[in-house]
Structure 1
């Protein structure tokens, strides 16, 4: 029976990660910080710590999850086999890829460790079905920022089911995830920094470098440097040709967005166009709404000052929700809580005048029934929509921006900063981009804003809108 060389030394954050018994754990850090290795060893250490069955077998079963089969094979499985090679943990390459770790217990007590490690590629919420038949001791989600939270939720429901009670049951059960830093609107950020569920624990590794002025210096607290062949130069070599956003995420280990593609609004300057604090509504002026429909409806809230300045004060964003439910559960409560009694001018995607295959009423009719009478924008033409916003980004009024965004508008802000973008066309040679923005959670609210602002280009006095204005108050109806 082959033996294993137990030469793993955990870095400080990984040591705390290993010592935790939380049901769900996460470890986040920069490139090359040893996260994946720590997770491989977590499987091994939990397998070794499993109590033996009456027959002296310490049984565990694990699911290792990545977002695609190419990534699973060339990164996740490769890291596993670097530490637990074929001689120790033979790999069956018939799907699902499965490694069988079998060896005498390191204590020499006569028992045997038997760990079944199943490698799966799951990248869509619909892939949860691949998990439903599994009975697991635990799971590892590798590079969790690339997977939807539905995968994590499904995986937690398969834990604690192996080994069977007759074999002693699991000594520990649960899951762990590793990741490079995601966006601050990602589910990882929500659960680790805001919700903090009971019996979940998250660990964050120090940055590889620290920034002093315009210079980057080695961080003496950086982890896994001793295992990098180039030491700190591994990170210094990364800096060349990279954006500050890229460095912030992959070297500094901070939450952030690394944009791939071409921003729709290169005219936008975050430091100039975003207000220092949330913008309060101007009660004497109309509140304008701009709508986008579909199953990801969104609505932008803005006003036009007497000087002609556009102030975007709020947003409403949704997923997997029809327009009626969106209006009832999100938009109307938002109006009631923050904008009650204000006169409303509402414009939306002209497609909202058409019936869908599943609704007898159009989106415009549904909004009218909900008390938000909405006028279709003049056109869906993309260039005109984009320019309706961009023209304000290039103007100044009274020494300040003609367009100002409230910092509470997280999706609009991230979209302006590049998440609302043209995808790159996969061709060789000169960079080329598609002529229409990609559809994302950030694009829908931007399209709503565009439909709302199209109206402004048709009026020399933007405080006198063309759309019919009417004021209604109370729970039964909203200003339209």
Structure 2
């Protein structure tokens, strides 16, 4: 991407002074070759001025193309998950800037807006609310110079976000003649699994490898620091009143930030404090975690786990037949330790496709080869590993594609191994998970240790992405497995794949009985009650 600065950001009104990150963002918007498409992501905490930055960037872009002799107006498509969210957030920001002097006019029943006089506007905005993912076809046939995606990431139930498919569809609309094509994304920090953090991969899938991508991040202190810097600047010019105005703005923003932090913390949403207040990429936490005693610091190994030769490898299987998200995890276990070596989840794969595309590559990567039979009478197995398969009972019911073949039969045919069913009852699996993550192992380790590099979705699921839903009206947790799987999506499957072998190898009732026996007496020893001393 070209780094040279050919134009300074020029905007109206003239008193808008962008913060350092926003200035860098705006400069990148207006620079570069005419035929170079750029996707520019501006990320920061709530209230830091991202929408204003997008608006002013579009105005600055229009100023630039006007100087290049390109006919105005610049056409901008503004996209958000729903029109209602556009109306109560983005359009409110536009209205605020109109009151501050930006010549904005709303037209077409507030579904469009222009900057400048009606007969010769410099920018024309169209607002698209995508109430359902397939509403992205509203963008088809639309032509613009800038596609602006507002808040692509959901704020944990406050909004639903924008699906990745909109990027591919919307990008085809960015074709206004002679205008350097731009895709702008202004957003709060997303969940760490959100598609925008892998936007380069999504562009490649859409055949848009020529698009240049750059990310800009505003931290939680930038806005206040910028206001205080402006106060010092105008004070040096002798403008005491102006300096105090900037300081007051800094204090007001700090109070706004502290209120947000206090409100979100008071309702237990520390995940939203991290993302919406501190401005960090984080994890969305909703409802109640299915495995509440899981801890990243205690249960995720600090370095990759060693695969122990001569120790059986246990595969746990969740067939995912209802939604075509099969999952598997690989374990090695001892009397007082469980090592989760890896896990995989398929997406829209039959069970056979899953084994071929996910299971075999993992086992080849780590040379998890089957032991060979020795030659000669009485010879045992040599080299490699022995395997044990413990599966979802649904493995014996069908492969999910209407075929008479069961998942268990697929395992037997492709892996040449037998399969044993895990428990049908969710209570047995739930309690096995809880007991396993509660137990101590040898020394200072917990019983369960998970490889940090080969279990991303499993770890996220254990950390709360696999959760029971919350009744929004009452705050009541609906602790049913069907509801948890419905709202948790792909994150439920590797956890369930782990639960099946745990419930067979380390059943919860045995752990709790052992713990009861080992419990020390709670009072003094009872004295003999009979004259015989017995």
Q: Specify the alignment match of 1:120 in structure 2.
A: 128
SS in 2 for 1:10: coil
Q: Specify the alignment match of 1:150 in structure 2.
A: 165
Would the alpha carbon gap of residues 427 and 350 (structure 1) be closer, same or farther in structure 2, given more than 3 Å must change?
Answer: same
More helix per residue: 2
Q: Does 1:233 align with 2:255?
A: yes
**Greater CA deviation, 232-241 or 396-405?**
232-241
* Equivalent residue for 2:408, pick from 358, 364, 380: 364
* Equivalent residue for 2:303, pick from 249, 273, 277: 277
Q: Specify the alignment match of 1:93 in structure 2.
A: 109
**Distance in 1 of aligned mates of 2:446 and 2:15:** 60
Q: Does 1:412 align with 2:412?
A: no
The CA deviation string for residues 389-422 of structure 1, in whole angstroms up to 9 with x for no partner, is: 2111121122331111121212122222211111
Displacement after TM superposition at 1:385 (Å): 1.2
Q: Specify the alignment match of 2:494 in structure 1.
A: 445
Displacement after TM superposition at 1:452 (Å): 2.8
Q: Specify the alignment match of 1:14 in structure 2.
A: 22
State whether residues 62 and 74 of structure 2, in contact with CA within 8 Å, keep that contact through their aligned partners in structure 1: yes
Displacement after TM superposition at 1:102 (Å): 4.6
Would the alpha carbon gap of residues 303 and 113 (structure 1) be closer, same or farther in structure 2, given more than 3 Å must change?
Answer: same
SS in 2 for 1:144: coil
Would the alpha carbon gap of residues 394 and 79 (structure 1) be closer, same or farther in structure 2, given more than 3 Å must change?
Answer: same
Where structure 2 has 5 or more consecutive residues not aligned to the other structure, the ranges are 1-10, 32-36, 154-160, 231-245, 370-384, 512-534
State whether residues 36 and 178 of structure 1, in contact with CA within 8 Å, keep that contact through their aligned partners in structure 2: yes
Q: Specify the alignment match of 1:200 in structure 2.
A: 213
Q: Specify the alignment match of 1:35 in structure 2.
A: 50
Displacement after TM superposition at 1:184 (Å): 2.3
Q: Specify the alignment match of 1:348 in structure 2.
A: 391
The CA deviation string for residues 373-402 of structure 1, in whole angstroms up to 9 with x for no partner, is: 462523332211111221111211223311
State whether residues 30 and 208 of structure 1, in contact with CA within 8 Å, keep that contact through their aligned partners in structure 2: no
Where structure 1 has 5 or more consecutive residues not aligned to the other structure, the ranges are 105-110, 163-168, 210-217, 463-480
State whether residues 348 and 377 of structure 1, in contact with CA within 8 Å, keep that contact through their aligned partners in structure 2: yes
SS in 2 for 1:116: strand
Displacement after TM superposition at 1:143 (Å): 0.9
* Equivalent residue for 1:433, pick from 459, 474, 478: 478
**Greater CA deviation, 451-460 or 280-289?**
451-460
Would the alpha carbon gap of residues 405 and 336 (structure 1) be closer, same or farther in structure 2, given more than 3 Å must change?
Answer: same
State whether residues 312 and 386 of structure 2, in contact with CA within 8 Å, keep that contact through their aligned partners in structure 1: yes
SS in 1 for 2:136: helix
Displacement after TM superposition at 1:335 (Å): 0.7
Q: Specify the alignment match of 2:358 in structure 1.
A: 330
Tell me: higher relative CO, structure 1 or 2? Use CA pairs within 8 A at least 6 residues apart.
Answer: 1
Q: Specify the alignment match of 1:139 in structure 2.
A: 147
State whether residues 11 and 223 of structure 1, in contact with CA within 8 Å, keep that contact through their aligned partners in structure 2: no
How high is the TM-score relative to the length of structure 2? 0.73
The number of residues matched between the two structures is 434
State whether residues 428 and 507 of structure 2, in contact with CA within 8 Å, keep that contact through their aligned partners in structure 1: no
State whether residues 114 and 122 of structure 2, in contact with CA within 8 Å, keep that contact through their aligned partners in structure 1: yes
More strand per residue: 1
* Equivalent residue for 1:265, pick from 261, 277, 291: 291
SS in 2 for 1:232: helix
**Distance in 2 of aligned mates of 1:459 and 1:11:** 56
Q: Specify the alignment match of 1:176 in structure 2.
A: 184
SS in 2 for 1:319: coil
Would the alpha carbon gap of residues 288 and 14 (structure 1) be closer, same or farther in structure 2, given more than 3 Å must change?
Answer: same
**Distance in 1 of aligned mates of 2:109 and 2:472:** 31
**Distance in 1 of aligned mates of 2:348 and 2:401:** 16
**Distance in 1 of aligned mates of 2:79 and 2:203:** 24
Q: Specify the alignment match of 1:47 in structure 2.
A: 62
